Amino acid sequence: MSNFTFIGAGSLGFTRKLVTDILTFPALAESTITLMDIDEERLDVVKKVVERIIAEGNFPAKVVATTNRAEALQGADAVICTILVGGVHIFRHDIEIPKKYGVDINVGDTRGPAGIFRALRTIPVMVDIAKDMEKYCPDAVFLNYTNPMTMLSKAVQDTTKVNYVGLCHSVQHTAEMLARWLGAPIEEITYTCSGINHLAFYSEFKWNGEDAYPRLRKLMEDPTIYNEELVRNEMFLHLDYYVTESSGHNSEYNAWFRKRPDLIEKYCTHGTGWNPGEYAYILNEYLDQEQTWKNELKASLEEPVNLTRSTEYASYILNAMMGDGTLFTFNGNIENRGYIDNLPEGSCVEIPILASKRGFDPIKVGNMPEHLAVLANTHARCESLAVEAALTGDKRKVFQAICMDPLTSAVLSLAEIKNMVDELFEVNKEWLPAFNKVGGVTV
């Protein structure tokens, strides 16, 4: 019997999905699900939702819930993390302050000024969780779903020895989208994908062993398909390889789409799939959820239980390592130790990894296409610098990391970036005590 601990279990959608995924593997059905969250109201509802899943599936599992992290981690075999540090009242500044200076952000949870300040708030908590794991469950696997993925992953791996991998669903979801466009069963699609989180590219994408890129290029002539992912399809047409994360996200990772109002109107306002490219899309989603989350929690206790297993990686990894041992290859986020030759050593990369009873075996990719490595390298170095700043409390390095962000540097001068960063630090000062020091003393 395995013990799987969810930190940030109040993230209802993820917890419900991942618990269902885990328990539908027969070899994991007797597991103990330990739920931990600091919000008692959410935790109580999520526990009831998991109890409904167990009852509906007639699983021989059990569930416990606690607000005590040490208690939740004691004896865990795997820890799944889905936390959010700070609510919408602080997250909104990550989006709204850059906009005041001219940096138009769609999501803001991954990189750039918004992603970096989200990382600064979250890294201390993530590192504390990992250090608690070293104390209470040193052999456990740490599966992280929290963003910003690259910076959190690097921070945890730079400061602890936990068995860590960062997980995102953009690789398999994009592959499913491309298969749908091709009219191909996903079981007949194979690919090699690598890069950094949300900026990984398929160096190979094959249908029954045949290169599918020529067919995909032809499909770009279909306005329905082209308009479904305007930004990503433009990147594909000009860069020759398909990128993993949605158009809304990718529009803010480079200098091509959001630096002028006419470009935003042309590429970022229409036809961007599930994630519209307009300004502050995710912030507006957060604001809506803040008003409705109690109703959503209540509804979750009445909705039919769906026992269909998703394509999220976590359960397949746990089954490979602790269940029936079926090998599973996935794309995960870990520090680069020679896996991608033309990205910086020690930066966080997203690469194929084999999960088995022996643990994680990263697969060496070699070189990314060189022009793609240039783009990924810029972000990888910015993010490594931001992590160093977070771990040392160095405001100057935060500023310098944001200076090199492609969208920010395309829009603002150095002096303007400095003013923007100063303002972001001011509104975040209660959340960033490591930076509030004079002469080594916290003030």
288 token code pair: 């809506």
pLDDT at 380: 98
Catalytic status, residue 169: yes
pLDDT at 275: 79
pLDDT in tens, 17-70: 999 999 999 999 999 999 999 999 999 999 999 999 999 999 999 999 999 999
pLDDT at 296: 82
Average pLDDT over residues 369-381: 98
Q: Are 328 and 302 in contact (CB under 8 A)?
A: no
What is the Cα–Cα distance from 66 to 38, expressed in whole angstroms? 8
pLDDT at 19: 98
pLDDT in tens, 205-217: 999 999 999 999 9
CA distance readout (Å), 1 to 20, 69, 77, 358: 16, 21, 10, 18
Please give the share of the chain, as a percent, with pLDDT higher than 70: 98
How many CB atoms are located within 10 Å of the residue 19 CB? Answer: 27
pTM, two decimal places: 0.97
**Whether residue 288 has pLDDT greater than 50:** yes
Band of pLDDT at residue 382, cut at 50, 70 and 90: very high
pLDDT in tens, 224-257: 999 999 999 999 999 999 999 999 999 999 999 9
Residue of 91, 405, 336, 10 lying closest to 197 (CA atoms): 336
Of the residues 169, 249, 270, 379, which is catalytic? 169
Angle at the Cα of 263 from the Cα atoms of 258 and 264, rounded to 5 degrees: 55
pLDDT at 99: 98
Going from N- to C-terminal start, the domains of the chain cover 3-166
Average pLDDT over residues 394-418: 98
Residue 404's Cβ-count burial label (10 Å; 0-12, 13-18, 19+) is middle
pLDDT at 348: 98
pLDDT at 439: 53
- Homologous superfamily of domain range 3-166: NAD(P)-binding Rossmann-like Domain (3.40.50.720)
Average pLDDT over residues 278-299: 88
pLDDT at 443: 40
Q: Per the annotation, where are the binding residues for Mn(2+)?
A: 168, 198
Residue of 308, 330, 320, 309 lying closest to 359 (CA atoms): 320
**Whether residue 438 has pLDDT greater than 70:** no
Q: Per the annotation, where are the binding residues?
A: 147, 168, 198
pLDDT at 290: 81
Band of pLDDT at residue 185, cut at 50, 70 and 90: very high
pLDDT in tens, 113-160: 999 999 999 999 999 999 999 999 999 999 999 999 999 999 999 999
pLDDT at 42: 93
Residue 313's Cβ-count burial label (10 Å; 0-12, 13-18, 19+) is buried
- What is the β-pairing status of strands 78-81 and 3-7? parallel
Average pLDDT over residues 334-363: 98
Band of pLDDT at residue 442, cut at 50, 70 and 90: very low
Q: Per the annotation, where are the binding residues for substrate?
A: 147
Residues 6+ apart with CB under 8 A from 119: 148, 151, 152, 155, 383, 386, 387, 390
